Amino acid sequence: MELEYQNYVMEVVLFELKEGIDKHRFCQAAAALTDLLKDEISGFEGRTLLHTFDESQWTDIIYWYDKDSALGAMEKLKSKSEFQIFVTMIDSRAITQRYLIPTNLNL
């Protein structure tokens, strides 16, 4: 993914699924949300969903064009069924979210 270091924002969300959630169903919901992000949310650049070997902990990395896109996306997503389905599968007690920007190591 080639994004200019000074422009893009990486949203990193660490979480666990609710007890009893089917992993395959969750991945289908994540894919539907990715399609929505691509089609309807401006500033979305890409996404990677990862999990630990035992699938107990998950990390969602979303790349945004800039800070405004990253911070403004949530308002747009709240009313979308794809987002609502996705978040209902996540244990809200186990969420850590960060917005990160890259550091220029070529100083």
- Sequence-ordered list of residues with C-beta below 8 angstroms from that of 48, at least 6 positions apart, any chain: 60, 61
Compute the average pLDDT of residues 93-97: 94
Residue 61 pLDDT: 98
- Residue 38, pLDDT score: 98
- What domain range is 88 assigned to? 9-100
pLDDT tens for residues 35-87? 999 999 999 999 999 999 999 999 999 999 999 999 999 999 999 999 999 99
Reported as half-sphere exposure (CB side, CA atoms, 13 A), residue 78 has a value of 5
Average pLDDT of the residues in 3-20 = 85
Q: Does residue 1 surpass a pLDDT of 90? A: no
Does residue 41 sit within a domain? Answer: yes
Does some domain include residue 4? no
Residue 2 belongs to a domain: no
Instruction: Please state the domain count of the chain.
Output: 1
CATH number of the domain to which 36 belongs: 3.30.70.100
Q: Are 36 and 62 in contact (CB under 8 A)?
A: no
- Can you give the pLDDT at residue 105? 80
Task: Tell me, yes or no, whether 105 lies in a domain.
Answer: no
According to the model, what pLDDT value does residue 106 have?
76
What residues have CB less than 8 Å from 14, skipping those under 6 apart? 57, 58, 59, 95, 96, 97
Grouping H, G, I as helix, E, B as strand and the rest as coil, residue 96 is: strand
